[in-house]
Amino acid sequence: QVQLVESGGGLVQPGGSLRLSCASSRSIFSIYAMGWYRQSPGKQRELVAEFTSGDRTNYADSVKGRFTISRDNYKNTVYLQMTSLKPEDTAVYYCHVRVITAPYDYWGQGTQVTVSS
């Protein structure tokens, strides 16, 4: 059982910054993958950034150079620092973890990020 609590979303102007946080109820040290997805109405949920096995990171091409994922293993928390935000970044952002046992995938409730003038 894994519970994820997200925070940090909000309304910002283009070019602004936000930092999202996701706190896990269990240790994240042995989690297979942990990161962030986003979804806009009528669109499929897409990967934004994640840590994977071997402490590697993956980023969507659209956010490379603008977003940075980090984590604090002691606090069981993963962060997403978002800079140079664009209107197309507007979405609900979901924390995600993947473990090695069923049901494998766990999701937070999401936090809204809106980028608008």
Share of the chain above pLDDT 70, in %: 100
pLDDT reported for residue 33: 92
pLDDT band at 86 (very low <50, low <70, confident <90, very high): very high
Q: Pairing state of beta strands 91-98 and 105-107? A: antiparallel
pLDDT confidence tier of residue 102, bands split at 50, 70 and 90: confident
- Tens digit of pLDDT for each residue in 2-33? 999 999 999 999 999 999 999 999 887 777 89
Average pLDDT over residues 37-47: 95
Which runs of consecutive H residues, i.e. helices, occur in 10-68? none
Backbone angles phi, psi at 26, to 5 degrees: -130, 165
